[in-house]
Amino acid sequence: MFRKVARVFALAVVLVAGASVPSRAQDQKGTLVFAVESLSAQTLDPILEGRPGNAVYQAVMYDSLVGFDLEKGGIGPGVAERWELSADGLTWTFFIRPGQTFHNGDKLTAHDVKFSLERQMGPGSLASAAASMRRTIKNIEVVDDLTVKVQTTSPQIGLPAGLSRAVAPEGAIMPKAYIERVGEEEFRKKPIGSGPWKFVRNVPGDRIEFTAVTTPHWRGRPHFKDLHLLLVPEESTRVAMVRTGEAAIASIGPETMLGASRAGLEVLSVPGTMQAVFQFWGTYKPEVKDSPIAKARVRQALSLAIDRKQVIEHVMNGRARMPYPFATFGYTDYFSADRWEKWAAEAYRYDPVLAKKILAEEGYPNGFELKFANTALPGTQFMVDIGTAIADMWTKVGVKVTIKHYEWGSFAPMERGDQAGLIGWASMYRTAGRPDAPWRYDGAFSPESIQRLLGDKENCQEICQDFVKTSRALGSELDKTKRTALTDHMVELTANSWTVIPILEGMGYYAINTKKVGQFAPITGRHELGDVFERIPRPEQKPWKK
Amino acid sequence: MKRYIARRLMQGAVLLCMVATIVFFLGRLTGNPVDLMLPEDATAEDRAALTQTLGLDGPILDQFAIFVGKAIHGDLGTSIRMKQPAVDAFFDRLPNTLVLIPWAILLGMLLGIPLGVVAALHRGGLLDRAAGTVAVLGVAMPSFWLGILLIFVFSVELGWLPSGRMGGPAHYVLPVITLGTFLVAGFMRITRSAMLEVMESEFVKLARIKGLSEAVVIWKHCLRNALIPVLTLWGVFVGNLITGAIVTETVFAWPGIGRLTYEAVIYRDFPLLQAVIILKSILILSINLAVDILYAYVDPRIRLA
Amino acid sequence: MTPDAKGETVLEVRDLHTHFFLRRGVVKAVDGVSFSLRRGEVLGLVGESGCGKSLTALSLMRLLPKGGAQTIKGEVLLGGENILECTPAEMREIRGRRISMVLQDPQTSLNPVFAIGDQLREALLRRKRAPLTRAPHAEVMKEAVAALRRVEIAAPEQRISQYPHQMSGGMKQRVVGAIAISGEPGVLIADEPTTALDVTIQLQYLKLLKRLQAETGMAILFITHDFGVVGRMCDRVAVMYAGRIVECGPVRRIFEAPQHPYTRALIASVPKMTGPVGRLTTIEGQPPSLMDLPVGCRFASRCSLVEQRCLDAYPGTVRVGDEHTADCWKATPA
Amino acid sequence: MGSKARVRRTARVPWIPIAIISVIVIMALFAPLLAPYSPIDQTLRDKLLPPAWMTGGSDKYFLGTDAFGRDILSRLIYGARVSLMVAVLALTVGGGVGLAVGIVAGYVGGAVDSVLMRLVDAAFTFPAILFALLLSVTMGQGLGTLVIAITLLLWASFARVIRGEVLSLRQRDFVALARVRGCSAPRIMLTHILPNVLNTFMVLVTLNIGVVIIAEATLSFLGAGIPPPTPTWGLMISEGRGRIADAWWVALIPGIAITLMVLSVNLFGDWLRDRLDPRLRQL
């Protein structure tokens, strides 16, 4: 009962306050309601939330040091207007955009940037890149109110990307003075940031409410007065809420997409948000030496046996596209996208006849036994459907597939340690849409990485060594054309290893009630809408075509 | 009676320790929260740092010692994912679940028990089979299927009711119906079979000999005896609803402890999982104790040993 | 009450037929029973178990068990009114107030989950004299205590709030008795009330019934299979066999000069208190199946005096003495 | 008065439920022969076709196809096999254990009763999902894991209700008499207590059939039961739940199948119990 009374009281206060607040510009009215599948940790302190949560609801009230390139995707100007790398590649200098203020009126200065980065690396931080930042960042120096220098232990080409939401959440700028004045506990109850929306209320497991900033903001002035993010775990309920108008936008998957569009809802897809892949574990291990998947050509045959167009057409309802090579997208930095798009179109074509021929040549005329772990990472439940579809396609070329279904929490631990449960298996996997390919390649192929798909410390044959050499070179290469050449080489050797094989380039999908919101464009590669809410117009401002 | 309650509470305490220990160790078998929090491309170094920050790095027995040390003082640890004391997270959500249960049980009983009596009175007849079919429909339909169907019909197509989430009374209708239909079947069948048993006994004949009206004979003398097994089922159902109407809370986006438990398991949020199960055990124990005590009132023959 | 103190007839049963209609056939459990009961009199209804005496009682109360039992012929005149034609509502008015019943097994006659006081209160609220319907709870409870004291139950004030399982068989049967008479019925049917009690309690219960009858003048239809009880309790006795009353008359005449061979055999099988105890005679054979009853006398197959006419036709009712009848060809009319 | 005697209509043999149950059993036994297609064979082009008699339906697939273009009729037939097996196994094992614990706890009472009942309380608190994950991690997938998981779910509620029943039964005379006659406790439990609780046990069994089949779906979905794509009715429903708006038949058809099965088992159970119940046999 107390909750209801509190809500009514809060409403009353807001109304009264609303009336007395300086007259809100006439064009900010109405409430934008967004139904989302998960609010993950649902905490407003940037150092306690992972990437998805930050991108969905923290991005709304916190700006990132580096922003987005809205046309092409990838990184662009943010809190810092521009940034440059010193000649020796060891110092990044960020030039802060003037005139930025926090929600309580404090000015945003270089001190806040230094404080924020150090807090992300601090002991209490759960930021996933905290350890890497501690290792790579030597010192952060405030030159003046609008300039900050970041010295690194070794050349870090990807540092700016790492501080933009295009890649990671660790770039969120927090109010130094406010936090030092009220302390972390109070900051977590009443957080303030510099973003286009101000925090109103957080109801655990239920909703988070924001209200628009009235002063102009470099990311754009919100068209709505309030923003409510509602936690609705069941997809069909989310679609129902959009259809009844209780919500304006809802995150959906391919499953309810047909129903939504037939019901007259607009289905928006955000391109280049993820790649669904399948990969082979420990193909180089001695105990797997004579099994079929140890042979690259057999792995290639399995790729040829997959009709990607059918999967895109029927499992994803046409809302996906042919993939680039592993973990690369149209917007990947230092990467010849056109060349690789043509390569991928040919390499990842559907050629079951050739697949059978290769299998016969490799000594498996009537197929072989393939163990396949089907799972789905959080947020992309449709991976299970893709896995089911491709497994069936393999059976069509004579491969006897035994599928074992894993809930993600049970699958993840098997990657660590000796990967006993995975060696000799194929499995579904995913890579998120990110402009910096090398970071993801290291995570998958380096002998020290967790996945160690090309080789580990004991047996790192020729491809593995070549990869290590290229990756180390990329780490310190500053020249753009050389970087592109190195990246292309890295992509080529790993693609020809056929250890990780992309199936399709997936998209983020949203059902939209066109009577509630106007037409808007998402940021390419950015699945979550945290950085888009302020640019969503009201229906009368920019009606959907039709 | 006091001695009985004391003994039961003592047994409950022993059980709680056992449950807590089992959950502590079994939970960790199912995986590790760190794997779920790190993005796919995290380095081994990031993993070690996060594990250490979450205090999951020490040997398991030390972790258990820390857990027991804090638990004694009532601190059941902080939820890894929700970054708040697990006990607060639980009590934040408990009212949302509790607020649904009485209505669901009420719906179950108000429909189930009369249906059961009517079915018993018209044994083998049309009414008996009709009541049976209605009740069975409640049992046969899976709750997530029923929930989604109800939303689709009453909220999307007809627009009478909101499709989900907490809010005004209108928000309660569909979740309560989804939870209640299953209970109707249970109460109906138990009442029917108990009534059939009682209606043939001698004291019913004596009641009629007294010249009492048929209604008093059936609804007072018979039903009162049939309430004994109904009470047991009531205890079982309340227990189930407390343990978590996970599916209904998910379909209707109802932030109850059912979904909290599910998330605690799926995200391997060990402190939250431990706290939720311990606090739920306390709830279940007290309910079952209440039911056992109620037994003595409902059936005077049962003396609380 | 001496037999010749003729109160007026309170209950008249004429040619009562109650049959069970089962899948396998029709069981003619009560097949033409007639008797009459006078105020202040105890009429014994005696017979082997399964002869239809309990079903007769239930037919009078119109409380036939579910599943096929139905009274299809005959009249039951209670105070001149045929209660078989009453509507259920009228019948409910009659039960407890003008005719009541005590059941055989005290263990199961009381509702286990209600206190004695509550079950008594229900019956007391129905009595016509000094109606308690609007009386405050305390006063009704006072009446209940009085009712218990009337049936000689010790410390009734405590007993009121006790439950059936806390009381002995004998005490429970007294409570059932109190319940039965609280509506002050004109007729009380006692369906083997003492069978489930041990002998000493049995005697006390019979004395109690006698005392209550003397106080209220009600007529009692005492159903039993125990001749000893009949001798002590009844003024008149009707012997039932295979759904019919084969002999009816004052108890002393029946004991001294039973006219029907079945009655004679029954009395012979009862050990006498007086005189030497010889071998007890038993009756050979089995009672006829109630599904296909013989045309003639139903005892013929087991009767030592059987003749051809016994087999051919059912003997009529012969008046063998003052208010003493027997259904037997060999009976010598008075 | 005494109108024409009408023969009491005793319960007719429930032909329809018996027919439905036998159809399901036949489907389960002879699935390979009856099913027109293989249950897991996908034809993505023909995905989400409505049943043949509806507009847009093709008579190649009588009950239509699911999201992967698999024939729903064949999946229903093969699904019967698993769902029936799971239901029968889980109910006999889970129900049996619950029945035994309930009787022993109710009859013996004292310390045994307390210990068993506290175990029941503990079992109530454990979320089924935790069991499922534990078993899928430790024992892997398959029928065995599934039956054990569901048994751990079921036995507690059986035990609790049966114990309640036995508590009042224990007070009854025929139990006291048996004890007087010197019967040993196990004999009394078997010959006197057990038959009298069968009635409630049957009610619980019929009540829980639907629950078991749906639990199997959730557990399989989480990886603790039969792995997809092997069809089971419960899994077919959860696969179709997202599409109730546009392809309602994917979820509705297995739903109806389960409802029919539970309904016929209930009605057959009732009829069977009436036939077996001594008190009612002679009617």
Asked if A42's CB is within 8 angstroms of B43's CB, the reply is no
Interface mutation vs chain D, best among C18, C72, C166, most D CBs within 10 Å: C72
Residue C320 counted as domain residue: no
Say which residues have a Cβ less than 8 Å from residue B206's Cβ, sequence separation at least 6.
C103, C109, C110, C176, C179
The pLDDT confidence band at residue D11, using thresholds 50, 70 and 90, is: low
Q: Which residue of D has its CA nearest to B122?
A: D11
Please classify residue B69 by burial: count the beta carbons closer than 10 Å to its beta carbon, then call 0-12 exposed, 13-18 middle and 19+ buried.
exposed
Q: How many domains does chain D have?
A: 1
Residue D90 counted as domain residue: yes
Interchain contact B167–A (C-beta under 8 A): no
The pLDDT confidence band at residue D4, using thresholds 50, 70 and 90, is: very low
pLDDT of the residue at C227:
82
pLDDT of the residue at D224:
67
| Residue ending a domain, choose from C183, C213, C245 | C183
Query: Do C94 and C190 sit in the same domain of this protein?
Result: yes
Task: Look up the CATH number of the domain holding residue C233.
Answer: 3.40.50.300
Q: In the predicted model, what is the mean pLDDT of residues C97-122?
A: 88
Contacts 24+ apart (CB under 8 A), B260-267: B260/A205, B260/B89, B260/B90, B260/B93, B261/D127, B261/D129, B262/D127, B262/D129, B263/B81, B264/B79, B265/B30, B265/D127, B265/D129, B265/D130, B265/D133, B266/A407, B266/A409, B266/D129, B267/A409, B267/B33, B267/B36, B267/B80, B267/B81
Distance CA D32, CA B282 (A): 50
Query: Do C125 and C175 sit in the same domain of this protein?
Result: yes
Distance CA D260, CA B137 (A): 9
Residue A491 backbone phi and psi in degrees, to 5: -60, -40
The pLDDT confidence band at residue D8, using thresholds 50, 70 and 90, is: very low
Residue B41 counted as domain residue: no
> What are the chain B neighbours of D176 within 8 Å (beta carbons)?
none
Interface mutation vs chain B, best among A126, A251, A408, most B CBs within 10 Å: A126
Does the pLDDT value for residue A229 go beyond 90? Answer: yes
Query: Do C229 and C240 sit in the same domain of this protein?
Result: yes
Nearest-CB residue to D255 (from B124, B141, B244) = B141
Distance CA B211, CA B217 (A): 9
Q: Which residue of D has its CA nearest to B12?
A: D118
Report chain B's mean pLDDT, rounded to a whole number. Answer: 86
The full DSSP string for A512-539 is E-TTTS----PPTT--S-TTTGGGPPPT
Residue D6 counted as domain residue: no
Task: Give the torsion sign (CA, A113, A114, A120, A124).
Answer: negative
Residue C295 counted as domain residue: no
pLDDT of the residue at C5:
47
Residue C305 counted as domain residue: no
Residues D29 and D65: beta-carbon distance below 8 Å: no
pLDDT of the residue at A3:
52
Interchain contact B52–A (C-beta under 8 A): no
Residue B165 counted as domain residue: yes
pLDDT of the residue at A4:
54
Q: Which residue of C has its CA nearest to B196?
A: C66
Q: What is the dihedral of CA B203, B207, B213, B217, to 10 degrees?
A: -20
Residue B61 counted as domain residue: no
Interchain contact C73–D (C-beta under 8 A): yes
Query: Do C44 and C21 sit in the same domain of this protein?
Result: yes
Beta strands in C47-165 (DSSP E): 69-78, 81-82, 99-102
Q: In the predicted model, what is the mean pLDDT of residues D150-163?
A: 86
Domain that holds residue B282: 96-303
Residue B189 counted as domain residue: yes
Instruction: Measure A241 CA to nearest chain B CA, in Å.
Output: 6
Residue D178 counted as domain residue: yes
Does the pLDDT value for residue A492 go beyond 90? Answer: yes
Q: Which of A346-355, B215-224, B231-240, C271-280 has the lowest mean pLDDT?
A: C271-280
Q: Which of A1-5, A268-272, B41-45 has the lowest mean pLDDT?
A: A1-5
Interface mutation vs chain C, best among D6, D169, D275, D282, most C CBs within 10 Å: D282
> What are the chain C neighbours of B298 within 8 Å (beta carbons)?
113
The pLDDT confidence band at residue C1, using thresholds 50, 70 and 90, is: very low
pLDDT of the residue at A298:
93
| Residue-wise pLDDT tens digits, C62-84 | 888 877 788 888 999 988 889 88
Distance CA D180, CA D193 (A): 15
Report chain D's mean pLDDT, rounded to a whole number. Answer: 80
- Residue A270 in tokens: 């955000």
Beta strands in A204-265 (DSSP E): 207-212, 226-231, 249-252
Query: Do C140 and C34 sit in the same domain of this protein?
Result: no
> What are the chain D neighbours of B185 within 8 Å (beta carbons)?
207
CA distances from B241 to A44, A242, D16, D133, D210 (A): 32, 29, 34, 21, 17
Domain that holds residue C12: 1-98+185-286
Residue C232 counted as domain residue: yes
Query: Do C88 and C29 sit in the same domain of this protein?
Result: yes
Residue D107 counted as domain residue: yes
Residue D114 counted as domain residue: yes
Query: Do C72 and C203 sit in the same domain of this protein?
Result: yes
Nearest-CB residue to B235 (from D160, D217, D237) = D160
| Residue ending a domain, choose from C183, C206, C239 | C183
| Residue-wise pLDDT tens digits, B213-237 | 889 999 999 999 888 888 888 888 8
Q: How many domains does chain B have?
A: 1
Nearest-CB residue to D283 (from C19, C68, C71) = C68
Say which residues have a Cβ less than 8 Å from residue A6's Cβ, sequence separation at least 6.
none
Domain that holds residue D260: 57-281
Query: Between the ranges A163-177, A178-192, D201-215, where is the mean pLDDT highest?
Result: A178-192
pLDDT of the residue at B41:
67
Distance CA A188, CA B48 (A): 26
Chains D and C touch (3+ CB pairs under 8 A): yes
- Residue D233 in tokens: 């009715």
Interface mutation vs chain D, best among C16, C31, C70, most D CBs within 10 Å: C70
pLDDT of the residue at B114:
92
Q: Which residue of D has its CA nearest to C65?
A: D283
Does the pLDDT value for residue A338 go beyond 50? Answer: yes
Residue D13 counted as domain residue: no
| Residue ending a domain, choose from C183, C205, C237 | C183
Task: Look up the CATH number of the domain holding residue D138.
Answer: 1.10.3720.10
Partners of A140 in the beta sheet? A150
Interchain contact C72–B (C-beta under 8 A): no
pLDDT of the residue at C169:
85
Asked if B162's CB is within 8 angstroms of A431's CB, the reply is no
The full DSSP string for A497-518 is HTSEEEEEEEEEEEEE-TTTS-
> What are the chain A neighbours of B248 within 8 Å (beta carbons)?
none
b/e map D166-177, b = 16+ CB within 10 Å = bbbbbebeebee
Task: Look up the CATH number of the domain holding residue B120.
Answer: 1.10.3720.10
Say which residues have a Cβ less than 8 Å from residue C142's Cβ, sequence separation at least 6.
none
Q: In the predicted model, what is the mean pLDDT of residues A496-507?
A: 93
Strands C25-38 and C244-250: unpaired
More confident residue, D45 or A246: A246
Query: Do C90 and C193 sit in the same domain of this protein?
Result: yes
Q: How many domains does chain C have?
A: 2
Does the pLDDT value for residue A7 go beyond 70? Answer: no
Nearest-CB residue to B209 (from C63, C110, C112) = C63
Residue B183 counted as domain residue: yes
Residue D203 counted as domain residue: yes
DSSP-assigned letter for residue A292: G
Query: Do C122 and C200 sit in the same domain of this protein?
Result: no
